[in-house]
Amino acid sequence: MIKLIECPRDAMQGLHGFIDTAIKAAYINQLLHVGFDTIDFGSFVSPKAIPQMRDTAEVLDQLDLFGTHSKLLAIVANVRGAEDALLFPQIDYLGFPLSLSETFQQRNTNKSIAEAMETVDEIQNLCQIKGKSLVVYLSMGFGNPYGEAYSPELVADFVQRLDQMDIRIISFADTVGTAESDLIRDLYRVQAGAFPHVEFGMHLHTRPEQMHGKIKAALEAGCQRFDGALKGFGGCPMAKDELVGNVATEQLIDFLESEGQQLQVNKSELREALKLAKVVFG
């Protein structure tokens, strides 16, 4: 069964104008009716780094989780953020961005890769104590725009180290939208074959005209977990000046269904969410 991960946090975090807390909460409450497996709803990170997410705890307090099957995911960048997130029983998953690039790891979390690995281990221990799951996003998972070394073998090394920490959900992130379909297909097949007990996902940033090829490659390789954001809003503000947006969830749904996938999506609620997205994002 395909798992759809909707990412309003990713869609919002790079916007310059602050979105009112009540508006954020109303939008996420609508998303909770659609039938997504998980909502990546906010982050417990430095408000100086990502000011848009400074009200995540207040947003969470306004969410109506009654009757929804969707789970909540919050992004954290350090142990303190994880400890803050774990105070809220409503949150099911914590997400941590671990980069294959030293440059991007420093930009994104102000850590070296070695320090970030230690942080992942600490957060994983906290999650296991609290009965939560840690999702690790392998940023720059399909290439490095900073002139640093990249190879599928490097990805395999990271996955092996995460497996040794008992991480069971790893999402390959095409942070700057440069992944080629063949690499997506081959990388997923190799890692899923080597670590069948790990749930691998795709968090792709892409230009609209390239989306179908990338999703098809991942689907053919066996991927059953896809991240997206309605209307394709978002992208990583820490990566580079030009943002390459998220996969547009509504287009992702249409394409997956055209490929014969059965999705548990309430289309009427999805249409309402799309209307609200226009208001939220202008």
Supply the CATH number for residue 35's domain. 3.20.20.70
> Could you give the CA distance from residue 84 to residue 47 in angstroms, rounded to a whole number?
14
Residue keyed to tokens 């798992």: 3
Residue pair 211/200 in contact by the 8 Å Cβ criterion: no
Per-residue confidence (pLDDT) for residue 207, from 0 to 100: 83
Per-residue confidence (pLDDT) for residue 45, from 0 to 100: 95
Per-residue confidence (pLDDT) for residue 28, from 0 to 100: 98
Return the DSSP state at 20: P
> Could you give the CA distance from residue 104 to residue 207 in angstroms, rounded to a whole number?
21
Per-residue confidence (pLDDT) for residue 243, from 0 to 100: 52
- pLDDT digit string (tens) for the chain, length 282 residues: 899 999 999 999 988 899 999 999 999 999 999 999 999 999 999 999 999 999 999 999 999 999 999 999 999 999 999 999 999 999 999 999 999 999 999 999 999 999 999 999 999 999 999 999 999 999 999 999 899 999 999 999 999 999 999 999 999 999 888 899 999 999 999 999 999 999 999 999 888 888 999 999 999 999 999 999 999 987 554 445 445 688 999 999 999 999 999 999 999 999 999 999 999 987
| Torsion sign, CA atoms 122, 123, 125, 129 | positive
Per-residue confidence (pLDDT) for residue 64, from 0 to 100: 97
> Could you give the CA distance from residue 31 to residue 269 in angstroms, rounded to a whole number?
8
Number of domains in the chain: 1
Long-range CB pairs of 102-108 (<8 Å, 24+ gap) are 102/148, 103/146, 103/148, 104/139, 104/140, 104/146, 104/175, 104/238, 104/239, 105/139, 107/238, 107/239, 108/77, 108/139, 108/236, 108/238
- In the chain the first and final C-alpha atoms are separated, in Å, by 33
Give pTM, 2 decimals.
Answer: 0.95
Decide: helix, strand or coil at residue 98: strand
Per-residue confidence (pLDDT) for residue 235, from 0 to 100: 58
* E strands, 86-174, in order: 93-99, 133-139, 169-174
Residue pair 249/4 in contact by the 8 Å Cβ criterion: yes
Residue pair 226/218 in contact by the 8 Å Cβ criterion: yes
> Could you give the CA distance from residue 209 to residue 88 in angstroms, rounded to a whole number?
39
Per-residue confidence (pLDDT) for residue 239, from 0 to 100: 43
> Could you give the CA distance from residue 217 to residue 122 in angstroms, rounded to a whole number?
34
- What secondary structure does DSSP assign to 248-282, as a single string? BHHHHHHHHHHTT------HHHHHHHHHHHHHHH-
Residue pair 5/225 in contact by the 8 Å Cβ criterion: yes
> Could you give the CA distance from residue 52 to residue 34 in angstroms, rounded to a whole number?
24
Cα–Cα nearest to 124, from 91, 89, 95, 101: 95
Q: Which domain holds residue 138?
A: 3-281
